[in-house]
Structure 1
């Protein structure tokens, strides 16, 4: 028995033409600005919004588009690699919304790097944090629709072992992610580094609470 290599179907390409258009535009923007970029381009900012990292002009122009293309292909192929692939059709709309949101974040980051490379003063934190906050809200809003699988969602040993634990964990985690995203969004207007501290606290909450909750659910189900 041979493993089938995942490919992009014509139907997939037709359905994803808006995403593919965004990907092409990212590469075209990189190619357009490449000759005008300096050899070292700001690409990382600390919690106070100060530049503390640089990359080559090639990475500034094409690094993030290439990463975005990789993310797109990965998210297209994951369902075909998952032993529970049939479940993806049950939350296809939610999965597509999350794909759009992630690629939108990558496009924003590419724009920030290009603007910084062209000499514009860019407060990356004030742009990225609201975008990430909105991403948390979008994912949280779709989380309850996510069905049992091995790649997408809250994957703890207990959610993977028990489909009912998976369902209850995601139903509970969704509102937590939405509320946390709203808090992170509002904290954008706090001065640095307080906005960053709130963001880190949000990350801890959305990671830790569902994990602990899934464990409690699993132990409870095992006791019955």
Structure 2
């Protein structure tokens, strides 16, 4: 449990820092850190920020994720939150590490296609989170509340929808050019609508 909670994020952050230090002298003074749908960089940062911002974010995300579970006042729900948060923590950590390594590779001159990587990464995250979402209890601090039995049905519905959306987003990486990115945004928009619509439906 502690390995998922702190060990894996700490190891990933150290690996990201080690990679940045190893290639630091070869990195450009202005690093591309964000890309448009056509794979062209549209945002840059200084070499220091580009090399070490994501490693810091990896550890910060782990801290925030772990803290969110501790804020739950209901002791019976805290353990369930911890189990779900641990899985989400590992998935996000691996995603951020992959993004960091690919960013370094792009700035070192390797041929990288962010428009292909983005759907794969987002899809895998959705599949992983959708699988654990039905196990997450309704938080005590949640502003919009449902009856527990309604929330359980909503969580199962939303989890299945998220897994399906994840598979569709992964498949969108096979579409040519910018069509994959547009399709991914369309699926995410449908997922947002399902979250809002599902909450209204199951809270009747």
TM-score, scaled relative to structure 2: 0.90
C-alpha deviation, 1:165, in angstroms: 2.7
Deviations 1:63-106 (Å, cap 9, x if unpaired)? 11111111011112111123345413125433211111111110
Q: Which residue of 193, 196, 200 maps to 2:185? A: 200
Cα distance change on mapping 1:29 and 1:88 into 2, 3 Å: same
Structure 1: runs of 5+ lacking an equivalent:
1-10, 220-224
Q: CA deviation at 1:17?
A: 2.1
Residues 5 and 86 of structure 2 are in contact (CA less than 8 Å); yes or no, is this contact kept in structure 1?
no
Matching residue within 191, 194, 201 for 1:209: 194
Specify the structure having the higher radius of gyration (Cα).
1
User: How many aligned residue pairs are there?
Assistant: 204
Structure ranking higher on relative contact order (CA contacts 8 Å, 6+ apart): 2
Tell me whether 1:76 sits opposite 2:61 in the alignment. Answer: no
Of 151, 165, 176, the match for 1:180: 165
What SS does the aligned partner of 1:53 have? strand
**Root mean square deviation, CA, Å:** 2.1
Q: Is the 8 A contact 2:84 2:135 kept in 1?
A: yes
Structure 2 unaligned regions, length at least 5: none
Closer, same or farther in 2 for the Cα pair 1:149/1:117, shift >3 Å? same
CA-CA distance at 1:115 after TM superposition: 0.7
